[in-house]
Amino acid sequence: MAALKLGSLPAAALGGVATTTTKKCERLSGGFRVVADGGCDNGFPSFLPKEVEKIKDPFARNLARRIKRLPVQIERSDSSIMSSCVQPLVQSDANPVVLLHCFDSSCLEWRRAYPLLEESGLEAWAIDVLGWGFSDLGRLPPCNVASKRYHLYQLWKSYIKRPVVLVGPSLGAAVAIDFAVNYPEAVEKLVLINPSVYAEGTGNLAKLPKVVAYAGVSLLKAYPLRLYANILAFDGIPLSKNLDWTNVGRLHCHMPWWKDATVNFMVSGGYNVVSQIKQVKQKTLIICGENDKIVSNQLAMRLLFELPKARMQRVPDSGHLPHVEKPRRVVKLITDFARSKDNNDDNTRRIQVRFVTKLKAPYKVPTTAIAIPSDLSRLGLSSIVNNLLQAVNSECKTEPFDFLIDGELVRMSLEQFLIAKGISAEKILEVEYIRAVAPRKEEEPSPHDDWVSAVDGSSPRFILTGCYDGLGRVWKEAGLCTHILEGHSGAISSVSVITSEGAGSATVATASKDRTLRLWKFDADDNSDHPSKIRAFKILRGHNASVQSVAANTSGDMVCSGSWDATINLWRTNESDTGGDAVSIKKRKVNNKAEESQSEGEAVSTLVGHTQCVSCVVWPRKETIFSASWDHSVRQWDAETGKDVSDIFCGKVLNCIDIGGEGSALIAAGGSDPILRIWDPRKPGSSAPVFQFSSHSSWISTCKWHNSSSLHLLSSSYDGKVMLWDLRTAWPLSIIDTHKDKVLCADWWKSDSVVSGGADTQLRISSDIFIQ
């Protein structure tokens, strides 16, 4: 590797070089030429451990060949050590970028990003922090925080001599903050990558006897431990690459002084920069790997809140070391930030806000106004509230929150929201926070033998499902089926709980493609591990085509059904019809035991008016039935007279309908496009929806209002997703994508869970959803 021209070296530093290194310093005009130790035939510097030969990663091998040692003065000494680093090949007019590394690592951490930084035209230095990397520490200088800081300062003072953009990943962020606060003249800007800055030093490790400390440090070198650390650090890289990257990460551990230097650092107490964070004056970019398993993104948000001049960027599909996994993305962020001008503060503008809530303790934060970055969105705001809560109670668990300004949910950055709504940012902004409407737990799936086409969660005692295998099933909880409803000869298309209150039996209805409906009774308190097979007590015949939907009225004495024959039939649910034909079927004997007889019922009345399939019916009030159809219409019927009271036409085939919202008067419907529409029939003369939600990407199969909230509803779709909605925002509150195929049905259960079924043959339960 060609030698590089450097700035003048201090005389004291040169005095210490002659006796400690085989390097030569040749006088040149304007400075010295530093020549590496005699290299090997393979181009690696001779001071690197021989294990460098085992590394396969071409980026690591190339960067290793460029590592140099420069004389750098150490604290309280006139002598120098030979300090390892990678120097820039060219000098740029812009201020240099100085790259630090993580705890117990080396400059090889930048093997994939460093060439890209050079390609972008930046002058970049990759420096080994004192005590790690490949420096010559044969004299065993102190490796505590003060010594690391002084060493970095002397290297900067001797060779770089200009304010730098200082980049620190993980613990390197603590190194960077400590240096920037103590030597502000040396640092123009900071870039902190997945910063580990809230640890209180090395904690109890500092109190260990040295013999125990040495034993503990020896474990750090162990290959299995390093491999496990890599598995945590990276977001799902192949094992073969992980094995090689483990060799890269532990290469410096083969240096003869490594164990002594690391113990020296550990027993010295390590970095504790919490009190320095608010003293940072430099503009700071925080970069977070979205899937970091080592340092929580919540801590990065806390840092964003506490640093006076900070902004944050996330790197998708990356873990703790995004500069290794996603180097192009990280280099672009660093390059753009390094070259950005100071005269544009839009991204770091701060807004005075006061957080308020109707939640009870322990979810209340102090109501004093605080200044926060204007580019924060829901996730950032949630992190701030969690940090405020944890400042009061350290045991408070992290909780996702949603935020309202003037009664509207925030689904963009504060800056964008204020501009969109014309709200002034000059006054203190009152922001209400509520617990986020999102599942916090996913239960184990409950498998079926075919598509799960129907589900009813209206009873808190059980879940009722219908399947394309012609069977109905009753589930007590995830994976626990207590009853199987046998009898249909075709796929079940719809199910409905008729009555389930009180102890004892429950009554349910099923509708099928075999043109019949069936009524069933079973013991809802049965907790048997082995499902009981039961027969219907009543079969309802009368439709001329597949029955698509069934719904019970509020009293449970009647059900209505919609069919592909374009009609709606009304039926009684009692065991013997007094007003129509009741055909008794002879009792069968099974295992010498007589089963209950079945009866057949005929429709009490038929509602005619639709011209195509009646895809969905609901019976929310005794006197009123609503229906949706493939003829593009929503119709309201008088259940007593059978008259069509009102019609709404939307121009699309409709699959589902539900009634709820304010005053239980809003009509939600979905069908053959991705739009969930909501009408308010109390507004006469207009068939235009009052709300439209369009985040799905395929047909909508189900929509259901929450049973106790007038603002919340769900929808399911053939796009494989269930979405939770709030009328106060056009964006979904939460997207449940646990299904692997079309979602055919969904419902609320127990007010705090969502149950759904689909073409993947699974019943899924998403639980612990808080509805305020």
Residue 177's pLDDT is 97
Beta bridge partners of 584: 599
Average pLDDT for 644-664: 94
pLDDT, tens digit, for every residue of 324-359? 999 999 999 999 999 987 544 444 578 899 999 999
Nearest 10 degrees: Cα torsion 416, 419, 425, 429: -70
Residue 21's pLDDT is 34
pLDDT at 16 over 80: no
3-class DSSP state of 649 = strand
CATH 3.10.20.90 boundaries in the chain: 349-435
Which of 33-47, 520-534, 710-724 is least confident?
33-47
Higher-pLDDT residue of 134, 89: 134
Residue 79's pLDDT is 79
Instruction: Say how far apart CA 206 and CA 271 lie, in whole Å.
Output: 11
Average pLDDT for the chain: 88
Residue 36's pLDDT is 41
Q: How confident is the model at residue 595 (pLDDT cuts 50, 70, 90)?
A: low
Q: How many CB atoms lie within 10 A of CB 298?
A: 16
pLDDT, tens digit, for every residue of 454-483? 999 999 999 999 999 999 999 999 999 999
The Cα-based distances of 759 to 411, 442, 450, 574, 701 in angstroms read 31, 18, 8, 34, 12
Residue 166's pLDDT is 98
CATH 3.40.50.1820 boundaries in the chain: 4-339
Q: How confident is the model at residue 17 (pLDDT cuts 50, 70, 90)?
A: very low
Which of 53-57, 197-201, 665-669 is least confident?
197-201
Which of 160-174, 391-405, 444-458 is least confident?
391-405
Q: Which residue among the candidates 128, 178, 292, 747 is catalytic per the annotation?
A: 292
Active-site residue flag, 739? no
Active-site residue flag, 170? yes
- List, in order, residues 6 or more apart from 472 with CB less than 8 Å away: 464, 465, 466, 484, 485, 488, 492, 495, 508, 510, 520
Pairing of strands 582-584, 429-435: unpaired
pLDDT at 239 over 90: no
Instruction: Say how far apart CA 126 and CA 478 lie, in whole Å.
Output: 54
Instruction: Say how far apart CA 367 and CA 665 lie, in whole Å.
Output: 37
Residue 591's pLDDT is 47
The Cα-based distances of 102 to 64, 96, 174, 196 in angstroms read 17, 20, 10, 9
Residue pair 705/663 in contact (Cβ under 8 Å)? The answer is no
Active-site residue flag, 543? no
Residue 73's pLDDT is 87
Query: Which pair of structure tokens corresponds to residue 680?
Result: 């308010």
- List, in order, residues 6 or more apart from 41 with CB less than 8 Å away: none
Higher-pLDDT residue of 476, 594: 476
Residue 504's pLDDT is 75
DSSP string, 223-247: HHHHHHHHHHHSSS--HHHHHHHHH
pLDDT at 236 over 90: no
Q: How many CB atoms lie within 10 A of CB 632?
A: 17
pTM of the model: 0.61
Q: Which residue among the candidates 83, 84, 106, 170 is catalytic per the annotation?
A: 170
Q: Which residue among the candidates 101, 320, 696, 706 is catalytic per the annotation?
A: 320
Looking from the CA of 670 toward its CB, the CA atoms found within 13 Å total 29
Query: Which pair of structure tokens corresponds to residue 250?
Result: 């532990």
Instruction: Say how far apart CA 451 and CA 456 lie, in whole Å.
Output: 15
pLDDT at 768 over 60: yes
Residue 226's pLDDT is 86
Residue pair 766/752 in contact (Cβ under 8 Å)? The answer is no
Q: Which CATH architecture has domain 4-339?
A: 3-Layer(aba) Sandwich (3.40)
pLDDT, tens digit, for every residue of 47-102? 999 999 999 999 999 999 999 999 998 866 677 899 999 999 878 778 999 999 99
Residue pair 428/353 in contact (Cβ under 8 Å)? The answer is yes
Query: Which pair of structure tokens corresponds to residue 625?
Result: 């039935």
Q: How confident is the model at residue 576 (pLDDT cuts 50, 70, 90)?
A: low
Closest to 164 (Cα-Cα) out of 183, 143, 144:
183
What CATH number was assigned to the domain covering residues 349-435?
3.10.20.90
Higher-pLDDT residue of 424, 190: 190
DSSP string, 153-207: HHHIIIII-S-EEEEEETHHHHHHHHHHHH-GGGEEEEEEES----S-TTGGGGG
